[in-house]
Structure 1
Amino acid sequence: MESPSVQDILGENAWLYIGATVVVLWFIVWLYRDSLEIEELTDKYVFVTGCDSGFGNLLCKKLDRKGFRVLAGCLTEKGADDLKRSAGPYLKTMSAGAYLKTVLLNVTNQDSVQKAMEFTKNEVGEKGLWGIVNNAGCSLPMGPSEWMRVEDFQNTLKVNLNGMISMTMTFLPLIKKARGRIVNVASVLGRVAANGGGYCISKFAVEAFSDCLRRDINYFGVKVCIIEPGFFRTAVTSLDPLERELHRLWNQLSPDVQASYGDKYLDKYIKVQRLIMNAVCDSDLTKVTSCMEHALTAVHPRSRYSAGWDAKLLWIPLSYMPSCVVDIGLKLVLPRPSKSV
C-alpha cells in the first residue's frame, strides 16, 4: 500500500499551503535577523554631515543618547554652538563616555572636507570610523527645467552629489579600518523625477553611486545603506525659500519664454507647491532618523530604507509604474502652460 502524498494529505490546495507557510517562515526569520543589534556602542565613532538643523541635528542627539561617540559636521558656527548646547543636558545625565563634538564643514570645499577628516582621524585613532551619515543637502532651485540655468543645476549638484562623493571617498579609509557603515541620504525623488532642477538629478545619482559602492566594497565588511525619505517638514521643504526661488527663476526668463507659459502660470505653480507641501509633508522627523539609526546599529542593515507613509504608499509604488502612468499623473497635478500643444 502506497503512503499518502502531500497532495492527498492537504488536498488540492497543497502547494498553496506550502507556499504560504514558506513565506510566513521567511518573514519571521527576516524580522528576527532585522532586529539583531551590534554591541559596545560606546567605543564606536559616527560622523554626521548637515547637522545645523533637520535630520542631521536630531540624529546626533539620538546617537549621543544611545552612547555613540558623535562627530557632527556643521556649516555654521551658530549651528555648531546650538547643537552643543542642546546636547549638553543629555551629556550630563548619561554615564561616563557620553560624547559629542562638532566641527565646521562645507562639503563643497575639499579643503574643509580634508580638515574634517584629519580632525576625525585624530579622534578615532586606530579604531577607525564606524559610520558616516552623508546627510548634508539642498533642494533649491527647484521648478520647471526650462527656467533653470546651467549654474542652477551645478549649485545643487555640488552639495548633494559632489559633496557626498567627496566625503565618502575622503573618509573611506577610516570606514574600511573599522569595517563600518556608509549611510547616504537620497530621496523618494531619487526614484521619481517629479520636478526640474538639480535635486532629482542629484538624488538619482546618489542612488547609483551608493549601489556601485556597496557592491564594490562589501568584500571588506563595509555596509552601504540608502535612506529614501518622503516629504518632511525641514529647511529643504520650507515654502518661503521655494517661492522666492521660483520668482527669481521666473524673472530671469526672456519675455518670449514667459509668454509661452502665460501670466498666471507662476501663481498656479506656487499654489500647487503649497498644496503638495501642506498636504504631504510629515512633521515627525524621527521616522527618518530611526532608519539612519537602524543602518548604524543593526547587525544586518538594509540596503534601502523608505521613510514616511508617502514614500511607502505613493512614491515607491509609483516608481515601478510605466513612465506613461507617472507622466499622466504629474500632468493632472501641475498647471498647463498657456501655449502648450
Structure 2
Amino acid sequence: MMEDYTLPFWIYLTVLTVFIGGAMKKMILASHLSAASTLVAWLGATVLVERLWAFCLPAAVLLALLGLTWCLYSSITSRPLPLLPAQGKAVFITGCDSGFGKATAKHLDALGFEVFATVLDMSGEGARELQRTCSPRLTLLQVDITQPQQVQQALLDTKAKLGLKGLWGLVNNAGVCVNFGDSELSLMSNYRGCMEVNFFGTLNITKSFLPLLRQAKGRIVTISSPAGDHPFPCLGAYGSSKAALNLFMNTLRHELVPWGVQVSTILPSSYKTGQSSNTAYWEQQHKQLIQSLPPALLEDYGEDYVSETKELFHTYARNANPDFSPVINTITQALLSPQPRVRYFAGPGVGFMYFIHSYFPFSLSNKFLQKLFVKKKLMPRALRKQSGFDMDLNLHNNNNNNNEEKLIK
C-alpha cells in the first residue's frame, strides 16, 4: 500500500501535518487545556486529517478550507477580554532603578496599582525619578535580591503596609548580564554572578512572597529571555541562568494551579536596558576579562578575537530598541487579563524566532541564531595559525609535486 503513494502525496501530507500541528499547538497553549483535554484535541485533529483525506479534496482547496477555519478561530479568540480593574491591587516589582522595571513601576502606578518598587540605590537617578513622578501610593524599597536579609526586610515592610490584604502581583524583573563571550572565555565569576541574580535572587524573592500571592490568588510575572531557550553564541553564562529560571517558573506554574496563582513568563526581544548601552561598563568588564584569562588561553583565542566580540556587542546594543512599550503593555496584560497566557513574546521577531526553533531543522535554526546576534568574522588565533600552516603545507606539497613532475619529464 505504501508504494502506491507518490512524492506529491507525501509533500502534501507533510504540509498538512505541520499546518494542523502548529494550529493545534497554538490553540492548546492559548486555551490552557489540561493533559486530558490536550490528548482529546490531538486525537480529534488526527481524525479530522484522516476524514479529509477520505474526501480526496484537492490540496489547494483543502488548505484554503483549513486556512479559513483558522482565520475564523483566530478572529474569535483574539478578541481581547476586558481587563480587570487595577484599583485596590498591590504589585511588587524588582529592579526599578532603570529599564523595564522603572518604566513598569511608573505605568502601573498611573493605572492605579499600589506599587512596591525595589531599587539598588535609593539616592540614584532612577529612584529620584520615581519619587518625583509617581503618586504617593508608590513605595520605594532598597533591595539587593541576592541578599536574603534585605529580601526579608522588604517582605516585612510590604506586609506592614498591606495589612490583611494579599499581594496581587509579583513582577520579577531584576536581572543582569555580567559579561558575555565564548563559554570557554567566560570566567567562573561571570557564571556565578548571572546565576546569583537571575536565578537564585529571583527564586528567593518568589519563595518569600508566595504566601502573600497565594492569599490574594495573584499573579507571578517574570521577565526572562529567549537566550534561556536558544543557544545564542557568546551568551552561555546569561542564557544558562535564564534557562534555569524558565524551568523553575514552568514547574511553579503547575504547582500553583490548586492555589489559584497564575504564572506567566515574558520573553522580550532586544531593548536598550540597564548596562547594555553603557560603554564604560563594558570596557571595564573587557579589561578585567583580558587580565583574568590564563595566558595560554588568551594566546589560543587572541586578544583581537576577544576585542571583536566586545565591539560586535556594542554595535548590537546601539541598535537595540529604546521603546519599552511592547514589554510594559505585555506585563500589564499578564497582570490584568482574566486569562493570562503562559508565555508572552514582547517585541518584533521573537515569535518568528521561536517558530524557526520549533519547526526547522537544528542546522538551519542554529545558522539563524548565529546571524541574528553577533556575526563573528575572526577565527581564534590558534585556528588562524593552523589554517595558515595548512595552506603553507599544501603550497609546499604542490611545489614538490611540480618538481617531481619536471624530473620525471
TM-score where L is the length of structure 1: 0.86
User: Is contact 2:277–2:314 with CA below 8 Å preserved after alignment?
Assistant: no
Q: Does 264-273 or 105-114 show the bigger shift?
A: 264-273
Return the offset for 1:220: 1.8
Supply the AA of the counterpart residue of 2:379.
R
Aligned residue in 2 for 1:44: 89
Q: Distance in 1 between matches of 2:240 and 2:220?
A: 21
SS in 2 for 1:145: coil
User: Is contact 2:183–2:237 with CA below 8 Å preserved after alignment?
Assistant: no
SS in 2 for 1:86: helix
Return the offset for 1:243: 3.3
Aligned residue in 1 for 2:70: 23
Root mean square deviation of aligned Cα: 2.4
Cα distance change, pair 243–323 in 1 and its aligned pair in 2 (3 A): farther
Return the offset for 1:116: 0.8
- 1:338 matched to 2:381? The reply is yes
SS in 1 for 2:256: helix
Gap runs ≥5 in structure 2: 1-51, 387-409
- 1:259 matched to 2:306? The reply is no
Return the offset for 1:250: 2.0
* Equivalent residue for 2:132, pick from 86, 89, 94: 86
Q: Distance in 2 between matches of 1:43 and 1:107?
A: 26
Alignment of 1:58-137 (within 5 A): 58-79=103-124, 81-88=127-134, 91=135, 99-137=137-175
Q: Distance in 1 between matches of 2:129 and 2:141?
A: 11
- 1:247 matched to 2:290? The reply is no
Return the offset for 1:224: 0.3
Q: Distance in 2 between matches of 1:17 and 1:189?
A: 36
Larger RCO (alpha carbons 8 Å, 6+ apart): 1
* Equivalent residue for 1:141, pick from 162, 169, 179: 179
* Equivalent residue for 2:327, pick from 288, 313, 329: 288
Aligned residue in 1 for 2:343: 304
**Residue-by-residue CA offset, 1:242-277 (whole Å, 9 max, x unaligned):** 232123212211221111112421232223223322
Gap runs ≥5 in structure 1: 1-5, 92-97
Q: Distance in 2 between matches of 1:165 and 1:310?
A: 29
**Residue-by-residue CA offset, 1:46-104 (whole Å, 9 max, x unaligned):** 0000011111101011001101111111111124741443324xx3xxxxxx6111111
User: Is contact 1:190–1:200 with CA below 8 Å preserved after alignment?
Assistant: yes
Supply the AA of the counterpart residue of 2:300.
S
User: Is contact 1:84–1:101 with CA below 8 Å preserved after alignment?
Assistant: no
SS in 1 for 2:192: helix
Supply the AA of the counterpart residue of 1:68.
F
SS in 1 for 2:167: coil
Q: Distance in 1 between matches of 2:277 and 2:284?
A: 11
Q: Distance in 1 between matches of 2:177 and 2:129?
A: 23
Q: Does 233-242 or 17-26 show the bigger shift?
A: 17-26
Q: Please say which structure displays the higher CA radius of gyration.
A: 2
Q: Does 118-127 or 210-219 show the bigger shift?
A: 118-127
Q: Distance in 2 between matches of 1:23 and 1:328?
A: 31
Supply the AA of the counterpart residue of 2:91.
V
Aligned residue in 2 for 1:275: 315
- 1:169 matched to 2:207? The reply is yes
Q: Distance in 2 between matches of 1:183 and 1:144?
A: 30
Return the offset for 1:302: 1.1
Supply the AA of the counterpart residue of 2:292.
Q
Return the offset for 1:217: 0.8
Q: Distance in 2 between matches of 1:15 and 1:318?
A: 24
Count of aligned residue pairs for this structure pair: 321
